[in-house]
Structure 1
Amino acid sequence: MVRRCVVIALSVVMTGTVLGEPELSGTADELRRLLDPPPGQVTISGFSERTVEADRAVVRVSILTLGKRLKVAMEENRQVRSKMISKLVEGGIPLDRTHTSRFASTPLHSAWTGKVKEYQIVSKVRIHAESEDDIHLIAGLVDTFDEVSLASMAFEMTKREEIITELLKDAFRRVQQRRELYESCLGVTLSPRHVNEPTTNDVKPRLQFPMSVRVGSVSGVLSDLDLDVSVHALAQQEEGIDQFEELLYKVGIAVTFDLTPVRVEEAEPGSDGPR
């Protein structure tokens, strides 16, 4: 009787041990996700800049006339504008580089009676100057006509988009170089996820031009990076300049990669290296 009780007790202990062992089940992909931790991420930035010669200046002038009668003030404004445009054509600036806006009228009221005492008419002319001689011609007309004043002047490049695309390609190449360096030195694989807009702090707000870029415009660069993504934003800006001839363009991009460690299996005894 005693011997039988001992056998039953041992059987219970052994059975409990077998039931307590953990068990893994599932498909191959499910087991791989369970055993391999999810990859981390790293962001690599690339920047490029170039100083180029501006080939055009956009000059905006305002024409202001006053008159007690609205029609008279409008007619006087039109005459001043026509004379100024004629002087521009005579000086070598064709009509296709001169663009006029509509009239804007503002009634000026008397502080005592509240009645309209005169009308103020304003029109604007935008002129594309392609040389310093053109700018001097416009400046002379501003000094000649009392009704004309300089509103603004900005320098630009007619091939601006081509320059930005070239700088963007160069920025992507810099990212690719750093990506290859990280992979070779750290023994990891970097898989592109998306492109973020980098932070820029040295840009004057009035000269900053954020721009969205589609993948098609830089398809050659993206294929080199094996990017199956869309470019969310591109930070590019033109800084203030001191001379007519120079513009400074800057382009910056930041690519976020998934970081996956490269698995290296242990070498078997007697083998030359890892399998």
Structure 2
Amino acid sequence: MRKFILLAACSLIVSQLRADPELKGTPNELTQFLTRVPKAAQVTGEGELKVQADRAIITLKITTESKSLQGALRLNQEMRSKLINYLKGQDVPVDRVQASRFSSTPKYGMFSDNAKSYRVENFIKITAQGEKEFQAASGAVDSWPEVQYQGIEVEQDNKEELKRQVIAKACDNANERRKIYEEKFGVRLVPKWFSPGLTGLKSPQQASDKQYDRSYSSSPTGASLPVGGLVEVQETGSSFGELTFTAQVTVEYSVEAK
């Protein structure tokens, strides 16, 4: 019995210790206390920057099939030669066309251990440095059924500098909005919270047989930014010639009276 009473008393003491603090005072005293509680506001700024892409790397796949491995390899080599000659005729330099190693896959019959046919694949990467070369590489997909589009990677030499520029635009936009809020509401906003922003780029590969999409996009994944706040940077493109960088910056301010 004594142990039960002792446990009950301890539980009561612990519950009192964990209780929320109680505010006491007159209405005026409570009003003065609440006015001293820091108030916060978030301001978001956006930035956009459009630039010309330096180059695009288009990946094509050549697929051939024959009853013999030698025949499938020969057909693939012939198709690769046709593709390279086609690109040369479109003024695409040969040194910007790179072929990978051949890969072969045997196909077996349902009730036989012998290969029924052989399928050979070879990947070709074409570096295009202009809209004309980009159209030439894309046109090869429409010229032969053995050629399939696999994806595109866009390269920009000064990408990090462009990201810094678009982030600066977003910060300027946030500052402009901050000034408007201060003027209209008669307060002063002081930056109080920052965290390292995360940004990066990734290019999803979109591939399908006999179909291809010339649009591409990327979004942030991993490099730290030199500014604080919540920062998001995205890169999108609708054609070879133009890339669009966008940034969104969110900064938290403490609200003070002027």
Partner of 1:24: none
The answer to whether the 8 Å contact 2:231/2:247 transfers is no
Matches within 5 A, 1:236-275: 236-238=234-236, 241=238, 244-257=240-253, 259=254, 261-262=256-257
The answer to whether the 8 Å contact 1:195/1:256 transfers is no
Matches within 5 A, 1:1-275: 39-89=38-88, 91-113=90-112, 115-139=114-138, 141-153=140-152, 157-183=156-182, 185-194=186-195, 207-215=217-225, 218=226, 222=227, 229=228, 234-238=232-236, 241=238, 244-257=240-253, 259=254, 261-262=256-257
SS at match of 2:195: strand
Percent identity between the two aligned chains = 25
The structure-2 alpha-carbon separation of the partners of 1:163 and 1:181, relative to structure 1 and needing over 3 Å to count, comes to: same
Distance 1:210 1:181 in 2: 30
Deviation at 1:236, TM superposition (A): 1.2
- The CA RMSD over aligned residues, in Å, is 3.8
Point out where structure 2 has 5 or more consecutive residues left out of the alignment: 1-32, 199-205, 207-215
Distance 2:139 2:173 in 1: 48
Distance 2:140 2:194 in 1: 56
- Higher radius of gyration, 1 or 2: 1
**TM-score (ref. length: structure 1):** 0.59
Deviation at 1:145, TM superposition (A): 4.5
Distance 1:48 1:188 in 2: 21
The answer to whether the 8 Å contact 1:47/1:171 transfers is yes
Point out where structure 1 has 5 or more consecutive residues left out of the alignment: 1-33, 198-204, 223-228, 265-275
Q: How many residues align?
A: 209
- Tell me which moved more, 77-86 or 168-177: 77-86
**TM-score (ref. length: structure 2):** 0.62
The structure-2 alpha-carbon separation of the partners of 1:35 and 1:124, relative to structure 1 and needing over 3 Å to count, comes to: same
Distance 1:260 1:141 in 2: 61
Deviation at 1:121, TM superposition (A): 1.3
